[in-house]
């Protein structure tokens, strides 16, 4: 087992670079899982906007607009004169004032053009959102009126429709490129996800970085022309050498996988179900195979450890940014998302979304999980095959 022992010795001597990645990951993961989630909640929590409505029309529609805006915002009583409105806006007692002009309901009912008037605080996004919010309401209302509903019915249906929209949550709708739902109601983006979800979300980055950085130089060392020649002329059979190298790679992979999964269980064991944990073991194994495949391929392409280090950074960061590790998939544009499909990280993240929250196997969308894991295995095979092709090409060149 000389080659196996030498493999491990060289791996241990490369540990400083691996340790750096591990420590940085731990700090980032723990910070992200403990604080990141809170900050994300904070970022997307409801923002109540102070507003007022002057129903100069005295109509039911004016009252309906006031009621609709009050669902998510705070109505403030202000005297109906321009001076009072300007003072309220200046002191931020209100951010938005809607004026329903006389004859507004009648105009709307008869399909005539009459605009609502408004005052708003300038240089903030609040006015823009309120404009959109009201525009959305009016468009919906007008569509019901056009459909031969009387005003009372149209108001009721509009409120019902928009209430449903208000309740829409921004979920991981990866098939849709944009943000869904009402922009004023992005209240629940992923905030029900457990902490282990975030831990496993960052695994692709750290696996790619550690496996390529830690194992790449070992493969380069054993692949050096003269060392390889000396091994080839020795009494150790090619088969024995191959088996020992394979064992070395398996040991390296098992240690990496073991450390991170044990760590996940230690940190989040109380919140993660055994079913989800088993799924994560399978998922991380599949992704580890991808990492080993990439490293195997790179080991034949690059001959210097420094170059391999650069390659590790490009691949780990590139795949992570594109594949939704650092930026949630729902925030990626459709073009980027199409490119992301070409990365293994994308399929890992999809599988992570399938696993999260699963309590028992019957809860698991097995088809989606198996499909994502299967794609990862295919990626691994593809990289191994490319590696073999490069090896063959190099042998023919020699």
Q: Using CB under 8 A as the criterion, which residues of the chain lie in contact with another protein when the complex forms?
A: 2-3, 5-6, 9-10, 13-14, 217, 221, 224-227, 229-238
Asked if 265 and 230 touch (Cβ cutoff 8 Å), the reply is: no
The Cα 179–Cα 187 span in angstroms is: 12
In whole angstroms, the minimum distance from the beta carbon of 255 to another protein comes to: 18
Q: Which is nearer to another protein, 230 or 392 (CB)?
A: 230
Q: How far is CA 141 from CA 111, 232, 233, in A?
A: 11, 81, 85
The Cα 36–Cα 194 span in angstroms is: 12
In whole angstroms, the minimum distance from the beta carbon of 3 to another protein comes to: 8
Q: Which is nearer to another protein, 231 or 245 (CB)?
A: 231
Residue 97 bridge partners (DSSP): 52, 119
Asked if 340 and 351 touch (Cβ cutoff 8 Å), the reply is: no
Q: Which is nearer to another protein, 14 or 59 (CB)?
A: 14
Q: Which is nearer to another protein, 147 or 227 (CB)?
A: 227
In whole angstroms, the minimum distance from the beta carbon of 19 to another protein comes to: 16
In whole angstroms, the minimum distance from the beta carbon of 14 to another protein comes to: 7
Q: Which is nearer to another protein, 128 or 393 (CB)?
A: 393
The Cα 47–Cα 187 span in angstroms is: 9
In whole angstroms, the minimum distance from the beta carbon of 235 to another protein comes to: 4
Alpha helices in the chain (DSSP H): 2-13, 15-31, 37-44, 60-70, 82-90, 104-109, 125-146, 151-167, 195-201, 203-223, 225-232, 238-268, 274-301, 305-323, 334-340, 344-355, 366-397
Q: Which is nearer to another protein, 15 or 128 (CB)?
A: 15
In whole angstroms, the minimum distance from the beta carbon of 287 to another protein comes to: 27
Residues comprising the chain, all counted: 398
In whole angstroms, the minimum distance from the beta carbon of 376 to another protein comes to: 31
The Cα 333–Cα 178 span in angstroms is: 7
Q: Which is nearer to another protein, 92 or 225 (CB)?
A: 225
DSSP secondary structure letters along 318-346: HHHHHHTSSS-GGGS-HHHHHHHTTSHHH
């Amino acid at each position: 087992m000389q080659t196996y022992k030498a493999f491990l010795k060289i791996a241990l001597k490369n540990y400083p670079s691996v340790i750096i990645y591990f420590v940085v990951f731990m700090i980032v993961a723990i910070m992200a899982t403990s604080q990141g989630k809170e900050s994300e909640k904070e970022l997307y929590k409801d923002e109540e906007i102070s507003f007022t409505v002057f129903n100069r029309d005295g109509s039911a529609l004016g009252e309906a607009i006031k009621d609709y805006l009050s669902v998510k915002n705070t109505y403030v009583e202000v005297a109906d004169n321009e001076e009072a409105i300007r003072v309220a806006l200046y002191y931020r007692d209100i951010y938005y004032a809607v004026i329903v002009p006389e004859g507004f309901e009648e105009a709307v009912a008869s399909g005539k053009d009459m605009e609502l008037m408004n005052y708003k605080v300038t240089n903030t996004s609040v006015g823009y959102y309120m404009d959109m919010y009201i525009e959305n309401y009016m468009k919906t209302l007008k569509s019901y009126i056009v459909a031969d509903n009387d005003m009372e019915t149209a108001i009721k249906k509009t409120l019902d429709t928009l209430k449903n929209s208000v309740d829409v949550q921004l979920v991981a709708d990866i098939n849709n490129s944009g943000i869904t739902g009402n922009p004023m109601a992005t209240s629940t983006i992923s905030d029900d996800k457990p902490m282990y979800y975030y831990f496993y979300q960052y695994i692709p980055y750290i696996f790619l970085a550690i496996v390529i950085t830690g194992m790449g130089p070992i493969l380069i060392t054993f692949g050096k022309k003269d060392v390889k020649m000396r091994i080839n002329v020795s009494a150790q059979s090619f088969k024995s050498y191959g088996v020992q190298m394979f064992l070395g790679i398996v040991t390296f992979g098992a240690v990496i996988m073991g450390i991170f999964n044990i760590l996940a269980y230690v940190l989040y064991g109380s919140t993660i179900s055994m079913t989800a944990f088993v799924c994560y073991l399978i998922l991380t194994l599949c992704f580890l195979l991808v990492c080993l495949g990439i490293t195997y391929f790179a080991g034949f392409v690059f001959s210097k450890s420094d170059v391999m280090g650069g390659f590790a950074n490009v691949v780990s960061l590139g795949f992570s940014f594109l594949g939704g590790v650092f930026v949630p998939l729902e925030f990626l544009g459709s073009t980027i998302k199409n490119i992301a499909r070409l990365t293994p990280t994308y399929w890992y993240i999809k599988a992570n979304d399938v696993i999260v929250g699963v309590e028992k196997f019957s809860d698991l969308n097995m088809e989606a999980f198996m499909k994502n894991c299967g794609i990862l295995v295919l990626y691994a095979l593809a990289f191994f095959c490319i590696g073999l092709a490069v090896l063959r090409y190099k042998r023919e060149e020699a």
